[in-house]
Amino acid sequence: MKSITKLLIDIGPLAVFFIFYTRSGLQEAILPLMIATVISVIISYILEKKIPIMPTLGAAIVLIFGGLTIYFDNEIFIKMKPTIINLVFALILYGGVIVKKPLLKYLLGAALKLEEEGWKILTQRWIAFFVALAILNEIVWRTQSTDIWVNFKVFGILPITFIFTMTQFPLIKKYQVED
């Protein structure tokens, strides 16, 4: 998928969430977030002609925790969602380590060709990163206002992820396999 289109699909639901949050509040932003997330997964499927695994898993968690937030009228569920998503991703990758199948390789293998040691190190780093993001989310939502948490979710997590990804380029370059 073209990178601009993919970026729009990835950040679209977040943008919808932020727009509705700033106009109406957290509770009113949940349903539009859920709808936008489902639409983004459908568009990804249409464009890629395959089910996008991680976005689909993320969408399922958004629907579950968004639904719980709406049903119980309690924002704790949506605030826990990034923690849960990051821990699920970390556990999935760790499960691959346990069974000696680098799942990151299956997710990124079309884009990256690395030696097995490179996949192993990269996977370990992503596991640690996902756990760190989960902990950071817990700290922010438990100690800060909802406004600060929303700004962290919208304007913090993406740049942190981008910076982390950029720091992985030396590792990728070191273990890259030339065709």
Q: How does pLDDT run across 93-120, given as a tens digit for each residue?
A: 999 999 988 888 887 766 788 999 999 9
| CB-based contacts of 147-152 (< 8 A; 24+ apart in sequence) | 149/79, 150/18, 150/21, 150/26
CB 168 within 8 A of CB 125: yes
The predicted structure's pLDDT at residue 1: 52
Please provide the DSSP assignment of 1-50 as one string. Answer: --HHHHHHHHHHHHHHHHHHHHHH-HHHHHHHHHHHHHHHHHHHHHHHSS
Q: Is the pLDDT of residue 3 over 90?
A: no
| Distance in angstroms (rounded) separating the CA atoms of residues 30 and 114 | 39
Query: Which one, of 33, 31, 13, lies nearest residue 70 by Cα?
Result: 31
